[in-house]
A and B are shown apart, each in its own frame.
Chain A
Amino acid sequence: MEFEDLQVIWTDQDKTPLFAFDHDAMHRKIQSRLRNSQRIASTQEWGLGLIFLAVALILVLMGQTTWIGFLPVAAALFVVGRVWVRRQRRKASLKGFDASMLGTLNAAIANESHLYQEGRTLLFWMLLPMATTSLMNMAASPTSKPLWQWLFVIGSFVLGYLVALRAPRKHARQRTSLIEVRTVLLNAKELQ
C-alpha cells in the first residue's frame, strides 16, 4: 500500500454522512450549567447569611452597652437581610424563564449576572458597613486598643476586599461564555 492509496481511503469519507447535532444533549448540558450556577449562588447566600447571623449573635452575647456597640450588630443583620432579599429576587426572576433550551440558557446567564453583580458590589453592602461600624466601635471604646488590634481589623478588611475583587471576574467569564453559546445557537440553524 502506498501513500496515495491512504489518501483515497481518506477522501472517500467525505461521501458518507458524518455527524448530526444532538439537540437534547445540548439542552442537558445547558441545564447542568444552570444547576451548577444556582448551586454556587445558593451556597454563597446560605454561607454569608449564617456567618453574619453568627457574627451578630456573638456581638450581642459579648454584652454591648452603648449604641455604637450595637452598630456592627446592625451592620451584620443588614447583610443577612440584604442577602435574603436578593436571594428571593433572584429565585423569582429565574421562574420567569421557560424550560426551553434558550430559556434555560437565558436563566443561566441571568444567574451568572446576579453572581457577578453581587461580587462587584460586595464592597458597598458588606465590607464598608462592617468595617466602618467595627472601627467606630473600637474608637469609642473607653480603653484604648493596642496598635496590633487596629492593624489586624483594618488588615482583615483590606484582605477581604482583595479576595472579593477576584470573585466577579470568574462570573464575568462564565457569563461571557454563556452569551457566546447563545449567540451561536441563535445564529446557527444547524444547532437548533
Chain B
Amino acid sequence: MLEAEQQERFETWLAQYRAMFYKVMQAFAFNQADRDDLFQEICLQVWKSIPAFRGDAAASTWLYRIALNTAITWSQQSRKHNKGHDDIAQHSHHLTQTAPPTDERLAWLYEQIAGFHPVDRSLALLLLDGFSYRDMAHMLGISESNVGVKIHRIKKHLVAKAKNQPSWNSKTSK
C-alpha cells in the first residue's frame, strides 16, 4: 500500500469514526490524561494496521475491533503502571478536549459500563451500537454462546439499574 493511500484512509476513518473512538475512550479511560493517552494509542494502532485491512469485514467492525483490543490491553497496562500512585504530571496534559456527556442518562450509562470487566465493557458498547452476536464474538475472540450469556447478563443488569432511576422513567413515559 502506498503511503499516500494509507494517509488518506487514516484521515477519512479518523473523521468518520470519531464517535466510535469517543465511546471507547469514555468507557475505558476515566480522566482527561488517560483519555489522551488511550486516544494516542488507538491512533497509532489504527495507523499501523491500515496496510493489513483487506476489506473482508466492514471498516467500522474492523476499527471497533482494533479500538477495543487496544483499550483492553491499555487498561491492563495502565492499571499496572498507575498502581499505588497518581501521576500528577499526567493530569496537566490534555490532548483532546473531550466534551462530557450532556445527557444525565448517557452519563449514567457510561458510568454503568465503566463498572464492567473490560470484556463485558466492550460487549456493552458493541451491543448498544447494534452489532450482531457473531460480529461481537469475532471481534473479541470468544464464542457466540458465551457472547449470548454475557449479553443477557449485561442487559438484565442495565435494565434493572435503570428502573431504579425514577426521574428517567417519568421522562421516558412522557
Contact = CB atoms under 8 A, between A and B. Distances in A.
Interface of A: 1-3, 5-7, 9-14, 16-22, 25-26, 28-29, 32, 180-181, 183-184, 187-191
B interface, size bucket: 35 or more
Contacts of B169: 1
A5 B130 contact: no
B57 interface: no
Main secondary structure of the interface of A (DSSP, over half): helix
Interface of B: 3, 6-7, 10-11, 14-15, 18-19, 22-23, 25, 36, 40, 43-44, 47-48, 89, 92-99, 101-103, 105-106, 109, 128-130, 155, 158-159, 162-163, 165, 168-169, 172
Given A5-B162, A10-B109, A187-B47, 11 more contacts: A1-B159, A2-B159, A5-B172, A6-B128, A9-B105, A16-B99, A19-B99, A22-B96, A29-B93, A184-B40, A187-B11
Contacts of A26: 95
A177 to B, nearest CB: 8
Contacts of A180: 44, 47-48
Contacts of B155: 3
A181 B93 CA distance: 16
Contact of A1 (B43, B47, B162): B162
Main secondary structure of the interface of B (DSSP, over half): helix
B99 A17 contact: yes
Contacts of B19: 13-14, 18
B82 to A, nearest CB: 17
A7 B172 CA distance: 12
B103 A22 contact: no
B165 A1 contact: yes
Nearest to A9: B105
B92 A28 contact: yes
Nearest to A17: B99
Nearest to A1: B162
Given A1-B162, A25-B93, A13 B106 contact: yes
A5 B158 CA distance: 11
B96 A19 contact: yes
Contact of B93 (A10, A18, A21, A28): A28
A105 to B, nearest CB: 13
Given A3-B159, A9-B109, A29-B93, A16 B102 contact: yes
Contacts of B163: 1
- The winner among B22, B44, B95, B106 for most chain A CB atoms within 10 A is B95
Given A3-B155, A25-B95, A19 B22 contact: yes
Given A6-B109, A190-B11, A22 B129 contact: no
A187 B10 contact: yes
A2 B159 CA distance: 6
Contact of A18 (B22, B43, B89, B162): B22
Contact of B106 (A12, A19, A20, A29): A12
A19 B102 CA distance: 13
Given A1-B172, A12-B106, A19-B18, A187 B7 contact: yes
